Amino acid sequence: MTRVLPVLLALGCAPSLSETHVWDDGDGSALGKVVTSGEGDGVMSTTVDATDATAWTAVDLDADAVEADYGDDVWDLAFQRFEIAVNGGVTGPGGVEAVFMEGLELSDVTAIPDEGWATDEPDGPDENALPDYVFRPWFDYDGDTHVVSAHPAAFAVRSTEGRHFALQMLEYYDDAGSPGMITFRWKRLD
């Protein structure tokens, strides 16, 4: 035991690898914080690494959901842990709006909604001091298990370029159970 203790102490003092971890596809090539792939029939799947508790990861839907610079005006959605901001209202100058469609799946959304468009608003009367994000109802939180799950709903989004998209949020956790790895499916509506 006396020989094992110094080894365990040395391992416990090793630097954290979490700061240097690079998300890759298994072949050693870095992917960045946004990964999008096609599912067929115009449907795409995007996973966003939103694990940073202070920095936003921005996505440009007009450019096939590539990572965008949060400081630029071209991003449409930005992700930080479980929060999703649109580039409109109090969270950006891009004029992005969204419609929350309770109980719908991506395949149910075949046309651009006529009404219900909203954007991120200043904080209203609630328990936090955050903006009232139009995407706020995307998840359900179980207070007993402390698990976040995607709420059964779809969203329509009007982008910075005036294009329309349908989205369905799927996951908050990756396959290993790590939080802040948001996956959603989406398609263009026009």
* Cβ–Cβ < 8 Å for 113, 156: yes
- Percent of the chain having pLDDT more than 90? 79
87-114: b or e for each residue (b if 16 or more CB lie within 10 Å)?
Answer: bbbebbebbbbbbbbeebebeebeeebe
Q: How much is the pLDDT for 28?
A: 36
N residues, the chain: 190
Tokens of 66: 């590539």
- Residue 88 scores a pLDDT above 80: yes
Average pLDDT over residues 117-142: 94
Reported confidence tier of residue 128, pLDDT bands at 50, 70, 90: confident
* Cβ–Cβ < 8 Å for 35, 47: yes
- Residue 69 scores a pLDDT above 50: yes
| Structural domain boundaries in the chain | 32-188
Q: How much is the pLDDT for 145?
A: 96
Tokens of 161: 């370029």
Reported confidence tier of residue 2, pLDDT bands at 50, 70, 90: low
Tokens of 35: 């990964």
Reported confidence tier of residue 8, pLDDT bands at 50, 70, 90: very low
- Residue 59 scores a pLDDT above 50: yes
Whether the CA torsion 136, 140, 146, 147 is positive or negative: it is negative
Q: Tell me the H-state helices in the chain.
A: 4-12
**Alpha-carbon span 135 to 27, nearest angstrom:** 34
Q: How much is the pLDDT for 127?
A: 83
DSSP state of 16: P
- Residue 182 scores a pLDDT above 50: yes
Tokens of 159: 């982008």
User: pLDDT tens, 35-52?
Assistant: 999 999 999 999 999 999
pTM for this prediction: 0.82
